[in-house]
Amino acid sequence: METYDVAVIGGGVAGLQAAFRAVARDRTVALVEKEVLGGTCLTRGCIPTKAMVRSAEVAHLARRAEEFGIDIEGEIEADMNRVVDRKDRIVEDVVDVNRHEVAETDAVDLYEGTATFEDPHTLRVDGDAIGADQIILATGARPFVPDWPGVDEVDPLTSRELLDLDEVPDELIVVGGGYIGLECAQILGRLGSDVTVVQRSVILKQEDQQLIDLLRERLEAEGIELREGTGVERLEAKGDRVLVHGADEDNEPVTITGDELLVAVGREPVDGDLNLDQAGVETWGPGWIETDDQLGTTQENIWAVGDCIGEQMFTHVARYEVEVAIRNALEDGEEAVDYFAAPYAVFTDPQLGRVGMTLEEAEDAGYDAMEAEWTFEHLGKALCLGETDGMMKAVADRETGQLLGFHCLAHEGAELVHEAIVVMNDRGTVEELSDAIHIHPTMAEGVNDTAYTAAIRLGRREW
């Protein structure tokens, strides 16, 4: 049996980072991956979808060319094979880099197969026995498809299969109005599909709804039909058509038809054949790995990071969790995770970048909070770009001025939110954000203006 200081199960972004961080601390590492290095983010999620978002953006901008004084003759059409080929080339480049880095790191041995626990310190990977002092679980998550009547008959797409379509569906039904569903809906809509989104409640219900109202207007203006308040009851295949049967908010029956069905209603854990009981690792809910605030599991030498713990399922959060878990596992640390300034984005157009709380969440958390907003109608760079849709909001504590949240629905909103992340990470105030000099003309001036508006309303700055 080969023995190591650390075994990492899962070769996605979190698992790769855990392996390299352990090596940097002079540990030997066994890295186990049953599919492709890079995991969901690099091969089936973040990177490939953003490659396709870009193709869709180009198609959309080309249709707007006349606004900018540019004439383009003929219809703007997507060649789906070339769109997918471009995406595949990007993914292949990323995977090749990861594989090269692992191969060049002498202290890491890659095991390509499925890991199974025999005891808290022993794994078996397709016949190979591996021993390790510390074990880090980074097994990720996968798209969840509910067991609706008719689901086997229809065989719906998930975000994974959507990435490999060889043609644009004439009519696409998307069940799920979260960030994955809306991103995919806009991609296919811009590439030529007639898209209907079916959502049981409202789209992006956890977000500031004033911003979501603006996003809703934009999506509908692009021809995406939003069937909010509609629940799915059963699916049916009828010839080459897909039928989604359900009920609307008044409990009236509805049937929606299309050529393809995409299900984007959430994710579920991937535990495979881990045999967690043998390791003494407990789970919660549908199988998420139970951790404490230091990312330790119920077995003292086993840690878990990333999507598999069922918390904030974002790659950048997983990378942060790796840093905490490695320090605790290998340096006898007692560091607790802190998600106060953990951001995320929805890569629709306009993008929604967010860090921290909404006003309602801040009040529920016991803060005497206020909010200030800023729009882009008169911002010079937004006018030049033709990208004036959206709004920014700052949420702050009335007494101290501490920045509690920042929400940015804007062109490149995911980029614009980052300086608010830095301020919140240091528990800073709105005036720290408002007093910083911003380059003119930029979209980032809107961040400055939003924070300055909040500081004025709090009486911490004057016009």
pLDDT in tens, 295-329: 999 999 999 999 999 999 999 999 999 999 999 99
Fold: same for 2-143+268-330 and 151-265: yes
Tokens 């569906």 found at? 169
pTM: 0.94
Q: Which CATH number fits domain 2-143+268-330: 3.10.20.30, 3.40.50.620, 3.50.50.60, 2.40.110.10?
A: 3.50.50.60
Q: What is the CATH number of domain 343-457?
A: 3.30.390.30
* DSSP letter (8 states) at residue 47: H
Give how far Cα 359 sits from Cα of 62, 190, 201, 397, 427, Å: 38, 33, 21, 10, 17
Q: Residue 322 half-sphere exposure, CB side, CA atoms within 13 Å?
A: 26
The crossing angle, in degrees rounded to 10, of helices 46-63 and 179-191 is: 40
Beta carbons of 406 and 355 less than 8 angstroms apart: yes
For 306, the token pair is 């990333």
pLDDT tens, position by position, 29-61: 999 999 888 888 888 899 999 999 999 999 999
151-265, superfamily in CATH?
FAD/NAD(P)-binding domain (3.50.50.60)
Pick out the chain residues at pLDDT < 50. Answer: none
Give residue 41's pLDDT.
86
Q: Where are the domains of the chain?
A: 2-143+268-330, 151-265, 343-457
Would you call 218 helix, strand, or coil by DSSP? helix
Give residue 357's pLDDT.
98
Alpha-carbon distance of 281 to 278, in angstroms, equals: 8
Alpha-carbon distance of 310 to 292, in angstroms, equals: 12
Q: Which residues have C-beta within 8 Å of that of residue 260, sequence separation ≥ 6?
A: 157, 165, 169, 171, 172, 173, 242
pLDDT tens, position by position, 228-280: 999 999 999 999 999 999 999 999 999 999 999 999 999 999 866 899 999 99
CA nearest to 87, candidates 53, 62, 63, 57: 53
What amino acid positions are annotated as catalytic residues? 440
